[in-house]
Amino acid sequence: MAADLNLHRCITKMPHTKRECYERTRLYFLVYICDQHCSLIYGRPPITREYRSLESPKAFLQSRFCTPEDVKLIGQVDVWSISNRVFDIFGADTDASITTQRAAALESLGAAYDKWRGDLRDSISDDLDDLTREMIDLYAHCGKLYLFSHTFRGSSQRQTRSLATSKGMEKFERRALESALSIVQGVIWGSETRQRLEHLPSSFVTMIAFASVSLIKASGQEPTVRGFDKNEAFQSLNELVKVFRACSARVHTQHPLLSVAKSLEIAMKKCCPVDVDHFHSWDTADDLDSTLFAFNGVGNDPFALNCPGDHDNFLPNPNDFGFDFFGHTSP
């Protein structure tokens, strides 16, 4: 629909001198961001194209019509653009192991996420409330988990790797698990994120689930990644279960968060050595997607997760709606 309306035509005219062009481009950027979120949830390639002018979306901010909220909007365009570069370089072949020759690309893209995080924080320093800061950090960790998790591709042949390859990839495997742990701890320690968890786009639920899967899988992997603390991972996941349960009463029964919460709690009860007595007794046959925590059949879904989209997610409370990515009321 956005293409039929030719919303993308005005991108080449940045910075805009006409309000109509500014509004059309802004609307296209919103469509672009929504498309990226939905593509992650459903494991499908984005429909929106990466136009050449999107290589420098910050030109949009030079328009005299821009508002402070547009800085955050372009920040989202920037971070999704990095993730698209990851996909362009590494593709979707989950059976193909990443070679040491790709180390430079991993380093460069990892640095790009760090730079994005620092630059956006600096650019909105006057409007950096706790929720915005937590969301920026969470988004950066999600991006880095997506990037560095590529080093686990072909993991069934992990024990047959050469010594040089294992040493070359191990630091990136460790970074993937550090990012996964940062996502989980960002939810349990971020007071604003924890309070508004059910308001976040479902793509974040997908990434929280992926982070949890990664930590559980790594905990049962032999040999384990050096520097990975199983006990810290289990304790953090244990706390995440509590956070999920606390918000479960506030959401619709079809909210994807509940499916992830059930799966995580069942998985933790089977493998977690700490504090399992407090776990809620879920009915494992109660509409639980048994493939939710599986890495099998990844195919075109780089996260191997099948979370439903954002439909009827909240209880009928008008205050539950209207939050954008950074938690502010959308215009």
- Give the rounded distance of the alpha carbon of 77 from its chain centre: 14
Partners of 329 in beta bridges: 323
Model confidence over 40-66: pLDDT tens digits?
877 777 777 665 556 678 888 888 898
Contacts of 105 (CB under 8 A, 6+ apart): 89, 90
Measured N-to-C along each axis, helices 230-248 and 163-189 cross at an angle, to the nearest 10 degrees, of 30
List Cβ<8 Å contacts ≥24 apart for 280-286.
Answer: 280/245, 286/262
Q: What's residue 31's pLDDT?
A: 85
Q: What's residue 138's pLDDT?
A: 94
Q: What's residue 330's pLDDT?
A: 39
Partners of 251 in beta bridges: 314
| Parts of the chain with a pLDDT under 70 | 1-10, 12, 14, 49-55, 154-168, 222-223, 272-331
Lookup result for tokens 């099948």: 306
All structural domains of the chain with their residue ranges: 82-320
Model confidence over 237-265: pLDDT tens digits?
999 988 988 888 787 777 878 888 888 88
Model confidence over 162-183: pLDDT tens digits?
444 556 688 899 999 999 999 9
Q: What's residue 212's pLDDT?
A: 93
Best CA proximity match to 14, nearest among 56, 48, 47: 56
Contacts of 22 (CB under 8 A, 6+ apart): 10, 16, 63, 65, 66
Partners of 314 in beta bridges: 251
Partners of 323 in beta bridges: 329
| CB 153 within 8 Å of CB 183 | no
Q: What's residue 225's pLDDT?
A: 80
Q: What's residue 3's pLDDT?
A: 62
